[in-house]
Structure 1
Amino acid sequence: MEERQPILGTPAPGAASDVPQVIVADRQAIVCQGIGSLVAQIPEVALGAFANDKASLKKLLSGARGKSILILGVRLADGDLTQVLEMVRKDHPEVMVVVIAEDTEFAFIRMAVKEGANSVCMMSQILTSLPRILGKLVEGHAIMPTEILRRLTSDNADALSRREHEILALLVDGLTNFQISARLGLSENTVKYYLKAIYQKLDVNSRGAAIAKYVAGNY
């Protein structure tokens, strides 16, 4: 029998009406389902619905009742972390956000902290970290794992501008210079200028090297 997707705003059986609802958003449905299975076992929260793109996430957040927590992957089908967090913070500042990322995607963790995420969780530690993080958020406390804080504070100051972060995130998604220019409303020559500056700051000479260094947070 096919398993039905959970319905946002419907408390788990026996749960109190003020239990925060957890929305899970990632471009891959299988990731949402895996995280949702873990969330469903945490008594302090109730599992809501899943979203794979910005439109569905916006609809879910607008229809949410009571407290909501968003567990967010670094990419949706039609937007990266920066765009999604900007939308959430603008339209739903009351929503608490936990960003989930792989160990090789530290650049997105750093970006999440800058954009006001309440917490971050490495995918490799999700089984032990996520229940603790959600418990703290339910109590009203933001929480940042010690390992991530240590790495954030030990790294050099971020030399990349916001626009350079946007362009690098689109490079990671595989967009060409033309596609990047169309997405950001820039000319192709301007995109090339930004790429040249990015290569200099990252001390690389190719797109592949820039992407590898960026997703690992080595800048």
Structure 2
Amino acid sequence: MDKTAASDLPQVFVADRQLIVCQGIGSLVGQIDEVRLAEFATDTKSLDKMLRQATGRAILILGVRLSDGDLTVVLEQLRKAHPEVMVVVVADETEFAFIRTAIKAGANSVCLMSQILTSLPKILGKLVEGHSIVPTDILRKLTSENADVLTRREHEILALLVDGLTNFQISARLGLSENTVKYYLKAIYQKLDVNSRGGAIAKYVAGNY
């Protein structure tokens, strides 16, 4: 393929908190003819800078966590700053809560890490054609679930809990009363089926809720 034709191909960026994961996914992307591999990012600031400098169509392959935030935060920022970027979320099967969150937040596709070698080329091919695609096994699991899902406010509170903030600090940060924070925490514990801050943090960090 000549340089002019190559420059017209959609750029694929890869973002994950671990650079080695970005490099592994990047080596796979580099073998796909319909796209061209761009840059890697491990935090939200470098991701934003990278996408601002993108030329032409851009596709982002996003892990569930960057070094300074999980995909709940990253997708919200992306939709505001870069609504034109198509997003593929890569996650493990144990991180299904993040998969659910990604689809609700408008991700264009989801790829399970265990199926990445076969699924990612197909997914990128569809995105290049302008089609969003969610694998049928993920759709099936999504539609069969009836579990309570954390609200955006509960996500915010849980993320601050993970950062080590006290109830008072959380209330000050979010402009809520301490009693309201306690009410939210009680609801979070019930939804996660835990009875302590440590249990809630462990489930959240594992994406297992």
Which TM-score band applies after superposition, normalised by the shorter structure? 0.7 to 0.9
| Alpha-carbon distance, 1:49 to partner | 0.4
Q: 2:208 aligns with which of 190, 194, 216?
A: 216
- Which position in structure 1 is the counterpart of 2:42? 52
Please give the root-mean-square deviation of Cα atoms over the aligned residues, in Å. 2.5
| Alpha-carbon distance, 1:139 to partner | 0.6
- Which position in structure 1 is the counterpart of 2:170? 181
Q: Please list, as runs of the form range in 1=range in 2, the aligned pairs for 1:59-208 lying within 5 A after superposition.
A: 59-156=49-146, 158-171=148-161, 174-178=162-166, 181=170, 184-186=173-175, 189=178, 190-208=180-198
Spell out structure 1 runs of 4+ moving beyond 4 A: 11-15, 211-214
The C-alpha deviation readout for 1:25-46, integer Å capped at 9, x for no partner, is: 1111111111111111111110
- Name structure 1 gaps, 5 residues minimum: 1-10
| Alpha-carbon distance, 1:79 to partner | 1.5
Q: What is the one-letter code of the residue matched to 1:216?
A: N
Q: Distance in 2 between matches of 1:211 and 1:13?
A: 49
Q: Distance in 1 between matches of 2:60 and 2:134?
A: 16
Normalised by the size of structure 1, how large is the TM-score? 0.84
Identify which range, 113-122 or 183-192, moves more after superposition. Answer: 183-192
Q: Conserved in 2, the CA contact under 8 Å of 1:24 and 1:70?
A: yes
Normalised by the size of structure 2, how large is the TM-score? 0.87
Question: 1:12 and 1:206, CA in 2 relative to 1: closer, same or farther beyond 3 A?
Answer: farther
The C-alpha deviation readout for 1:126-165, integer Å capped at 9, x for no partner, is: 1111111001000110000011000000000544211112
Q: Distance in 1 between matches of 2:173 and 2:85?
A: 27
Bigger helix share: 2
| Alpha-carbon distance, 1:22 to partner | 0.4
| Alpha-carbon distance, 1:202 to partner | 3.0
Residue 34 of structure 1 pairs with residue 24 of structure 2 = yes
The C-alpha deviation readout for 1:176-215, integer Å capped at 9, x for no partner, is: 2339728953568344332112112333212344355552
